Amino acid sequence: MIKKLLLLMLALVAYDATAKRPNIVFILTDDQRFDAMGFMDRYPFLETPNLDRIRDEGVHLKNSFVTLSMCAPARAGFLTGTYPHVNGVNTNVEGREFNPDKTPSFPQVLQANGYKTAFMGKWHMDHSNEPRRGFDHWISFSGQGHYNGNELNIDGVTVKNSGYITDELTQYAVDFIDANADQPFCLYLSHKAVHQPFTPATRDKDLYTGAVVPKRDNFFDNLEDKPEWQRVSRGRDELYRLRYNDHYTAPSKRAPRPYTPENGAHPSTKDYLRTIAAVDDGIGKLYEVLEQRGILDNTAIIFAGDNGYMLGEHGRGDKRVHYNESMRIPLIMRLPGSIPAQSTLEQMVLNIDVAPTILDMAEVEAPAIMQGQSILPLFDQAVQTPWRDSYLFTYWRDLIPTLPRILSARTERYVYSTYPDIDDIDELYDLEKDPYEMTNLIHSPEHAPLLQEMQERLEQLKQETGYKKTVPRPRPEPEWGVKDGLLCDVDFSVRTLSAIQDASSIGNHPTVTGGSIGEGLGGSALSFDGATTVSFPWKKQVTPEKGSYVIEALVRPTADGVVLAQGSAYRGFMLYFDDGCPGFVTKENAHRLQFLDSQKSFTGQWVHLVAQIKNYHNTMSLWVNGTLVAEESIMWPMHVMHPGIGGLTLGADPTGEIDPLEISPLKFEGDMQYLKIYRQADVGNIVNHAAALGLSFESGKPRG
């Protein structure tokens, strides 16, 4: 009994000691390059006095990288200390979010160990601004948010603010520190800046005007020795009309972007840099409140960017890719007594090292699943701390159709990149001799042994980190709150048009315009003459954004046209015939269309069609006469189909705007025997209906 009391007293003493543990202030910016800080001298005119102060009072982690250069995956990595293929957040557009039960975040762990925790700013996972586990105080906006005017979710209550978001988040952060200065706290301040549209505060809109952006060799890369996919150049309407197994052709080289002294090789360079000014001002305000409350010396300040950004290097903007300006991130931190002032670490540090480092600062054990490492042991000069000499960089297809899956192995001197899903050349660079990655050594006989070594290193890194080509969603499919099973059941095997009705329990009430009852496949069918339509009123239960949505139709086309459509110029889907080939298309965000088709013509034949959208699992599929003819990851998952776009229509695209360039103008001509729509149904059983009808894919003819 005495022993138990002593153990309890020791536990209470340990808990009380948390008051002496350091406060944590983690500041994250969006798309800020590793060299976009004043002390880096990349831009001689750039002024960041408060960032420079963090560096002067602490350490610059000179060689810091992100495991995947994109917002949501990078943020999940910072929070959980794990690779994207472990935490499950490997794209931006799929609405993924890590599972806090499997890959807990460092704020969760700190909260469970006596810290007051707060999150403020951009979360950018699961497309929701609702409060998350691990935070006592929560302030966030949906998605990317806006530079001016946001609806903020503050602890579950919506608050509309009209101000400049960088300044607003700073003030919320100052207030939190001021209110919690008497206890250990963790503040996670996640700015929207410097993400496009690169909107500086009004006070900063003229900063740096007239200053010269220094040239870099890779501004003038013609990409001649780089993979073909990098030289693809298409307009928006072409680029985002993604067809199953599309092949893009490219010239042998591309003209570099024009360089100007004012903006370098990117027209928005100055505005990009100007947005950093308000972030730096905000850091100054955080310093002020920490000093006023007398807790600065016991506060760790950590500053990072979520990923790099290309400002014209290799002719690119944005991030995602495997080049230095995209992979590298800014990372500086200070903690008196633990981190020497004005120090620099040369070791390769990753975004996934931040979480275990913070937990180490707080004297809290990191969860075993964390793959990163604390950097604090590296400051102990008396001990040779083992450290990585290479790391794995990954990218999965997301948003940009021409950008393939990427795997890279980077060492301190070399970087090797490959594209496993396409037939294209790989890349190999000697970063010591070629820091701007201008000379691809992939075909150099002299470097053949190095290439083999880097390929083996890549395979080793994949194995060590648990890499998977297909990354399952981190969370099980949610309960959608909408009806499963048969959503629509219209059989045209009736004697008269007036007898047409929906036999499903949903109670759809179709309206038939034109047409006639004709001969079907062992029964009757509705004949479409190019002016015939069947319209259904909008019903939430019959929209495709929830769960697995399956469309089944038995049709006989006599000409090309739209079999079924729902949507508008912004969002929709269609089942159709083009050159006699059955096809299916989804549309999201105005100009992004994704097509599947059979590559076989069935004009004049009865065809059993099954199209499936698995929005949560990000796949779309098309079966023709019982054969899977196309299956593809959805690059742009469909979101809510609202009442304003109307219900389903058979025989035409009623708005003419889902795909006005190709499919929408075509009115269906032919016969339809039935249409059925299901949610969360066994698609295998539905596909097998073709065999019962005696239909086969082999009866089709090659396209054209």
Q: How confident is residue 227, by pLDDT bands cut at 50, 70 and 90?
A: very high
234: phi > 0 → left, psi -120 to 50 → alpha, else beta; which? beta
Residue 424: both structure tokens together: 């294209």
pLDDT score of 524 more than 80: yes
Q: What is the distance between the alpha carbons of residues 22 and 460, in angstroms, rounded to a whole number?
A: 37
Q: How confident is residue 10, by pLDDT bands cut at 50, 70 and 90?
A: very low
Residue type at 141? F
Query: Of 551, 571, 562, 584, nearest to 644 (Cα)?
Result: 571
Q: What is the distance between the alpha carbons of residues 76 and 351, in angstroms, rounded to a whole number?
A: 10
Q: What is the distance between the alpha carbons of residues 420 and 556, in angstroms, rounded to a whole number?
A: 40
251: phi > 0 → left, psi -120 to 50 → alpha, else beta; which? beta
Strands 185-190 and 23-29, by their bridges, are parallel
- What is the residue-averaged pLDDT of the chain? 94
pLDDT score of 9 more than 70: no
- 261-273 pLDDT, tens digit per residue, is 999 999 999 999 9
Residue 667 DSSP symbol = B
Q: What is the distance between the alpha carbons of residues 86 and 185, in angstroms, rounded to a whole number?
A: 28
Q: For a pLDDT cut of 90, what percent of the chain falls above it? A: 87
pLDDT value at residue 543: 93
* Average pLDDT estimate for 460-473: 96
Please tell me which residue, 535 or 399, carries the higher pLDDT value.
Answer: 535
Q: How confident is residue 234, by pLDDT bands cut at 50, 70 and 90?
A: confident
Is residue 559 within a helix (H) or strand (E), and if so which, with residue range?
A: strand 548-559
pLDDT score of 397 more than 80: yes
pLDDT score of 415 more than 50: yes
Q: What is the distance between the alpha carbons of residues 251 and 390, in angstroms, rounded to a whole number?
A: 34
Residue 549: both structure tokens together: 């949505």
Q: How confident is residue 16, by pLDDT bands cut at 50, 70 and 90?
A: very low
Spatial neighbors of 143 by CB under 8 A, at least 6 apart, are: 124, 127
* Average pLDDT estimate for 31-50: 98
* Average pLDDT estimate for 101-119: 98
pLDDT value at residue 6: 33
pLDDT value at residue 370: 98
pLDDT value at residue 245: 73
> For the chain, how are helix, strand and coil distributed in percent, rounded to 5?
25, 30, 50
pLDDT value at residue 498: 83
Strands 137-141 and 116-122, by their bridges, are parallel
Query: Of 27, 355, 354, 22, nearest to 169 (Cα)?
Result: 27
pLDDT score of 12 more than 70: no
| Domains, in order of start, for the chain | 23-217+263-386 (3.40.720.10), 485-702 (2.60.120.200)
Please tell me which residue, 399 or 42, carries the higher pLDDT value.
Answer: 42
pLDDT score of 153 more than 70: yes
Q: How confident is residue 699, by pLDDT bands cut at 50, 70 and 90?
A: very high
Neighbours of 252 (CB within 10 A): 9
pLDDT value at residue 133: 97
Of 283-287, 482-486, 628-632, 642-646, the one with minimum mean pLDDT is: 642-646
Using DSSP, state whether 349 is helix, strand or coil: strand
Q: For a pLDDT cut of 70, what percent of the chain falls above it? A: 97
Range list of H helices, 476-611: none
pLDDT value at residue 4: 34
pLDDT value at residue 5: 33
Using DSSP, state whether 490 is helix, strand or coil: strand
- 180-192 pLDDT, tens digit per residue, is 999 999 999 999 9
- 42-81 pLDDT, tens digit per residue, is 999 999 999 999 999 999 999 999 999 999 999 999 999 9
Q: How confident is residue 497, by pLDDT bands cut at 50, 70 and 90?
A: confident
Residue type at 119? F
Q: What is the pTM of this model?
A: 0.92
Strands 299-305 and 331-334, by their bridges, are antiparallel
pLDDT score of 317 more than 80: yes
